[in-house]
Amino acid sequence: MDAFYASVELLRYPELRGRPVVVGGGQRHQPVLQPDGSRRFATLRDYAGRGVITTATYEARALGVHSGMGLMKAAALAPDAMLLPTDFDEYRRYSRRFKEVVAERAPSIENRGIDEIYIDLTEIPGVQETSEADPYAGVRDLASDIKARVRSATGLSCSIGVTPNKLLSKLCSDLEKPDGLTILTLADIPARIWPLPARRINGIGPKASARLEALGIRTIGDLAAADPQGLVDHFGSNYGAWLYEAAYGRDDRPMMTFSEPKSLSRETTFEQDLHPRHHREALGRIFTRLCERLAADLKAKQYAAKTIGVKLRYDDFKIVTREITLPAHTDDADAIRRNAGLCLKRVPLDRRLRLLGVRAGTLCKADALPASDDRAAGNAPRDETTLPLFDRPTDTPAP
């Protein structure tokens, strides 16, 4: 989907269409209805805090702001850009809607988050049809139809890349954004893919692209021309070999139409850095709240976790994590808080904290658990919750 969050907001506030708009940064900046019926919006100039841009309209991007950028920094570049708070519930509704209409034409769908999917078009009737003028007439019509359905169901535009595999489709869906439709075969790779920066490949991030650059490898073509053994020497056998294959557009990953979550987490960045001793009470409240929300998430999704972990970001941005594996799965807020507390005790608490997070890992579906599993990890009745960790009532036989 094109500039998804911002585009959804423009459906609500059409008067902002054509203007630079960014979405991000907490709930403090709700538009206010004026006596004359118009709405008053916050601008980036008004913003103070630690938020980042989650999505910027193309008009805002033209001013140099982009997702991930701190709002304070963005305000320096585009002080008059409109600022809207994020509304994930609304974006999830639109996400569901666009995926539903795609599924009407092409049921094999792999989710890639709220605003992206892979679609397998291989088996769709008519997809192989050709015409004199266009050898890809069949698939072009199909992709156009999918775009039209998405637009009519949601009012939103999307961009599609039609290629032999997921790697190339992800790359190509970006080539003609917004509202793009790009069809590409392996034969097109030298002309259309090799001139692109290596960084455009999904899986080559800031670190890898900087290291490639240091080796004189800037474009995907440079990567394709590189010595594969040299790549393996520099990046390891796995990643090095993958880099080389990716440069030729080779990718045999299958569609994953279903997947179980591996972990759930909750984290928060404080408005001001908090010191573990000086702000002990505030941190304790935040910590408990995170554990409660995580437990609620687990219950809502009907999962239980066997590992509980914490994440801290210090004022210098260094991150530490600690985790503990439980004797049995749990979705209980008290048990999560207790075990996360044990993790915290293993972390240096000598400087201010910027972020605190709690994570539940090694998940399993709650209904797949043996009934006894509930108990041991701490989902105990109230009168047992004061027992020391991992302790059990004396009448319970040890395993």
Partner DNA sequence: TCTGGGGTCCTAGGACCC
Minimum CB separation of residue 241 from DNA in Å reads 10
Buried b (16+ CB within 10 A) or exposed e, 12-21: eeeebeeebb
Q: What's the half-sphere exposure (Cβ side, CA atoms, 13 Å) at 372?
A: 6
Nearer to DNA, 51 or 249 (CB): 51
Minimum CB separation of residue 346 from DNA in Å reads 6
Nearer to DNA, 136 or 166 (CB): 166
Sheet holding 42-43, edge to edge: 42-43, 82-84, 21-24, 53-56
- Catalogue the E-assigned strands of the chain: 21-24, 32-33, 39-40, 42-43, 53-56, 82-84, 109-111, 117-119, 160-162, 181-183, 263-274, 303-314, 319-330, 353-365
Catalytic residue annotation: 116
Minimum CB separation of residue 3 from DNA in Å reads 12
CB 255 within 8 A of CB 119: no
DSSP 70: B
Minimum CB separation of residue 6 from DNA in Å reads 13
Structure tokens, 155:
């009012």
DSSP of 287-338: HHHHHHHHHHHHHHHTEEEEEEEEEEEETT--EEEEEEEEEEEE--HHHHHH
Which spans of this chain sit near DNA (rule: CB under 7 A)?
49-52, 54, 67-68, 70, 72-73, 76, 112-116, 170, 201-209, 236-239, 259, 261-269, 297, 306-307, 309, 317, 319-325, 343, 346, 354-355, 357, 362
d(Cα 194, Cα 16) in Å, to the nearest integer? 38
Nearer to DNA, 85 or 141 (CB): 85
Nearer to DNA, 10 or 201 (CB): 201
Q: Is the peptide bond before 79 cis (omega within 30 degrees of 0)?
A: no
Which residues are 267's β-sheet partners?
357
Minimum CB separation of residue 343 from DNA in Å reads 7
Nearer to DNA, 63 or 114 (CB): 114
- Give how far Cα 41 sits from Cα of 16, 21, 83, 261, Å: 9, 10, 7, 37
Nearer to DNA, 207 or 382 (CB): 207
Minimum CB separation of residue 180 from DNA in Å reads 15
Nearest to 306 by CA among 263, 361, 265, 266: 361
Question: Cβ contacts of residue 127 below 8 Å, gap of 6+?
Answer: 121, 138, 139, 142
Nearer to DNA, 127 or 366 (CB): 366
Residue 338 identity:
R
Minimum CB separation of residue 268 from DNA in Å reads 4
